[in-house]
Structure 1
């Protein structure tokens, strides 16, 4: 029975990690037009708890790539040359990251459901 609970722990930790990743991707997308906004990235770490390897999110890091320079002399943040710093969020990358996180989340959800069904089936067999 321990193997079932271990597999549930592993998949639950992966679900939490992918949910955090989706949260950061959605923040990036919602702030794509915010001047001076830097894209946030999240990494994953393997953690061993009670002999079970789990996944956790690491520190959130800011993407240090150059911010886009936008020409709009009427913008309140524009400098003397009429430019201001936009964000470094690329919507195509964010959409790809969101799809990858969504698919990983769905795969882990299926694994969680399979482990739960197997555990229920085992309990039914033991009752007979």
Structure 2
């Protein structure tokens, strides 16, 4: 039964991390037109509890993408310099949509694993009751 519990914990951790990743992707998409906005990237780290490797994954520090900001020509913009340019964001919507789709698929895979472990533990309990 402990294996089922650890499987449920592993898949729940995976779902939690992918949900947080989707939150960062959503923030990037929402700020794609914000001048000076740097894209947020998240890294994954292994969770270690009491010095032991748990096999679970957690979200590491959120970093800002260091890619150069897009220069936009708009002399009427309040942030434009004397040449008429201002710094846009470095968010690429195609990359963000691909990241969102990958996070969604990973979330769904963890959800299926969670549901399968739940069904197996329920079936085991039914067998033990007989």
How does the TM-score come out when normalised to structure 2?
Answer: 0.96
Matched, 1:68 2:70: yes
Misfit runs of 4+, over 6 Å: none
Corresponding position of 2:19 = 19
Q: Do the aligned partners of 1:29 and 1:89 also contact (CA within 8 Å) in 2?
A: yes
Unpaired runs of at least 5, structure 2: none
SS across alignment from 2:6: helix
Q: CA deviation at 1:100?
A: 0.3
Aligned positions, number: 128
Q: CA deviation at 1:48?
A: 3.2
Corresponding position of 2:95 = 93
Q: Do the aligned partners of 1:37 and 1:87 also contact (CA within 8 Å) in 2?
A: yes
Q: Which one of the candidate residues 40, 53, 56 is aligned to 1:54?
A: 56
Q: Do the aligned partners of 1:24 and 1:40 also contact (CA within 8 Å) in 2?
A: yes
Q: Do the aligned partners of 2:46 and 2:53 also contact (CA within 8 Å) in 1?
A: no
How does the TM-score come out when normalised to structure 1?
Answer: 0.97
Q: Do the aligned partners of 1:73 and 1:83 also contact (CA within 8 Å) in 2?
A: yes
CA deviations 1:2-53 (Å, max 9, x no partner) are 0000000100000011001000000000000000000000000112336631
Unpaired runs of at least 5, structure 1: none
Q: Do the aligned partners of 1:6 and 1:52 also contact (CA within 8 Å) in 2?
A: no
* Cα RMSD, aligned residues only: 0.9
Q: Do the aligned partners of 1:41 and 1:62 also contact (CA within 8 Å) in 2?
A: yes
Q: Do the aligned partners of 1:13 and 1:55 also contact (CA within 8 Å) in 2?
A: yes
Q: Do the aligned partners of 1:38 and 1:89 also contact (CA within 8 Å) in 2?
A: yes
Q: Distance in 1 between matches of 2:91 and 2:115?
A: 35
SS across alignment from 2:61: strand
Matched, 1:104 2:75: no
